[in-house]
Amino acid sequence: MIVMKFGGTSVESQEAITRITEIVRRYESQHPIVVVSAMGKTTNKLLEIGREAAAGRREQALGLVDELRAHHLTHGLAVAGAAAAELDRYIRAHFDWLDELVKGLSVVGELSPRSTDAIASVGERLSSLIVSFAIRAAGVPSQHVDSRRVILTDDRFTQAQPLLEETFALLRENVRPIANGAVVVMGGFIGSTADGHTTTLGRGGSDYSASIVGAGVDADEIQIWTDVDGMLTADPRILPGGHRIKSISFAEAAELAYFGAKVLHPATVLPAIDKNIPVVILNSRRPEVQGTRITSEAVPCRNAVKSISCKPSITILNIRSTRMLMAHGFLQRIFEIFDRYRTSVDMVSTSEVSVSLTVDNVENLESICSELRQFSEVSIENGQAIVCLVGENIRHTPGIAGRAFQVLHDRNIRMISQGASLLNLGFVVADADLKQAVTALHHEFFSELDPVVFD
């Protein structure tokens, strides 16, 4: 049994859905469970609908609903075959419900996190129905399962956390038996609370959903189908022409995902790690490419660095307090504030009286700085970027930092961090220097490649 997750670009149109239907057909003998994202940019448009409705712009919101309705009907019915009339009823029912919700929000004038999740869930609810009908129309037995029946979460709306023990029990009981006789299709990203309220796992949560499902049914493999050939030696948005990584460890993949590798959601690997289930990144537009296989143990590699990840548009906070010299509790006070505002910190450098740290979420930055200034001086530097060299061999290879900083000798480096995992060497440069920095590092560490690991 395998889990196959398809992202938004893999289900964005009639042509894309037809492509993945053929891919699923090839894996039919392995009893696939298919997890899909919303079609294309549907989630963004749904969230815009919610904002417009809550702001009282009812007609604008309903106009956006009409656009989404037309798109789903056009592309969905085209792949449903003889069951098009049945799918038509399902799609129209979802959008009739959304119309009523928009009208209600425009009266109330408020968009709560709970309402946000209800709206955002529509994309995956519809795409999973459409893909299920498409697979059935292609002659493969298929059954749709509403993820909200089997992914149980807490009530932290928009960022819900799955209750894994309960969810695994539901998946074993309700999904695994069906998958033995038909292709199960589910929407990613969504779940529900114990009392039945719809929740979402946060943006990018469809990857996490696939990993949860894979762990819950004890899958042999979790496949993440996207629009790239796998994990690469550099972010293609920053440096095109990077090399495909054939094999990588869970630990390396997690570091890359956390520090900006968009091909994989950072939390994806966690349930897979616990169950030791391989994760494979594949390209739905080029299914013949073998992709990247992520396993518990790294394949021996002659290259010291496996990949260069980066996270642009981050902010540095410099926090200084001479009153804390020789005093304890400075770091505790700082991080208690970040915890209260649910703001994650990526990188930290410390001295006796100062702390520098980076954040990529500045939503609550003003409030955070206001509290920090009660006991320290705070300065902010915007327009920065984290660059990370990641690889199992970094811990065993002397001179990596020397080589990295030698090729960046003409760039100002604001922070340096040797990761506690010993798998990464990270530093911060200005956004304006990011492309040049990644280019120089890529030339330094990937001019020669181990063919066992890189393509």
Domain boundary among 187, 208, 227: 227
Alpha carbon separation from 44 to 14, 116, 166, 206 (Å, rounded)? 20, 12, 30, 15
- Give domain status of residue 236, yes or no: no
Residue 189 belongs to what domain range? 2-227
The answer on 160 and 11 residing in a single domain is: yes
> What does the alpha-carbon distance between residue 391 and residue 281 come to, in Å, rounded to a whole number?
18
What pTM value is reported for the model? 0.86
Residue 18 domain flag:
yes
Q: Which of 227, 244, 269 is the last residue of a domain?
A: 227
Task: Please determine, for residue 442, whether its predicted confidence score (pLDDT) is greater than 70.
Answer: yes
| 153 SS3 class | strand
Kindly state whether residue 419 falls inside one of the protein's structural domains: yes
- The residue with greater pLDDT, 119 or 397, is 119
In a domain, 249, yes or no: no
| Cα distance between residue 159 and residue 398, in whole Å | 41
- Tens digit of each residue's pLDDT (9 = 90 or more) over 195-231: 999 999 986 689 899 999 999 999 999 999 988 899 9
Residues 73 and 203 in one domain: yes
- Residue 94 maps to a domain: yes
User: Cα 162 from chain centroid?
Assistant: 15
What's the structural domain count of the chain?
Answer: 2
Q: Is residue 177 part of a domain?
A: yes
Do the beta carbons of residue 290 and residue 360 sit within 8 Å? no
Does residue 351 have a pLDDT over 90?
Answer: no
* Residue 52 near residue 64 (C-beta atoms within 8 A): yes
Using the 3D structure, point to which of 227, 261, 277 is the last residue of a domain: 227
Residues 223 and 311 occupy one common structural domain: no
* DSSP letter (8 states) at residue 453: T
Residues 330 and 215 in one domain: no
Say whether both 204 and 329 belong to one domain.
no
pLDDT (0 to 100) of residue 221: 96
In a domain, 259, yes or no: no
Q: Do the bridges between strand 292-295 and strand 247-249 make them parallel or antiparallel, or are there none, so unpaired?
A: parallel
Q: Which amino acid makes up residue 38? A: A
How many Å separate Cα 147 from the centre of its chain? 18
Residue in this structure with the two tokens 């990857």, named with its chain if needed: 207
Compute the distance between CA of residue 131 and CA of residue 268 in angstroms, rounded to an integer: 22
With a pLDDT cut of 90, the percent of the chain lying above it is: 78
Region of 415 (left: φ > 0; alpha: ψ -120 to 50; beta: rest) is: beta
Is 258 contained in some domain?
A: no
Residues 36 and 135 placed together within one structural domain of the fold: yes
d(CA 35, CA 260): 23
Clarify whether residues 312 and 186 are in a common domain.
no
| Same domain (yes/no): 38, 151 | yes
* Arithmetic mean of pLDDT, 28-55: 96
Measured from the Cβ of residue 241, the count of other Cβ atoms closer than 10 Å reads 9
Question: What pLDDT sits at residue 260?
Answer: 67
Termini Cα distance of the chain: 28
Length of the chain, in residues: 455
pLDDT digits (tens, 9 = 90+) for 275-303: 999 999 999 999 999 999 999 888 889 99
Helix/strand/coil percentages in the chain, nearest 5? 45, 20, 35
Q: What is the pLDDT of residue 324?
A: 59
Q: Which of 257, 121, 272 is nearest to 188 (CA)?
A: 121
Q: How many CB atoms lie within 10 A of CB 313?
A: 12
CATH number of the domain bearing residue 442: 3.30.2130.10
For residue 199, give the CATH number of its domain.
3.40.1160.10
pLDDT in the model for residue 266: 64
Q: How confident is the model at residue 423 (pLDDT cuts 50, 70, 90)?
A: confident
Cα separation, 433 vs 429, in Å, equals: 6
> Is the predicted pLDDT of residue 420 greater than 70, yes or no?
no
* Residue 75 and residue 194 in one domain: yes
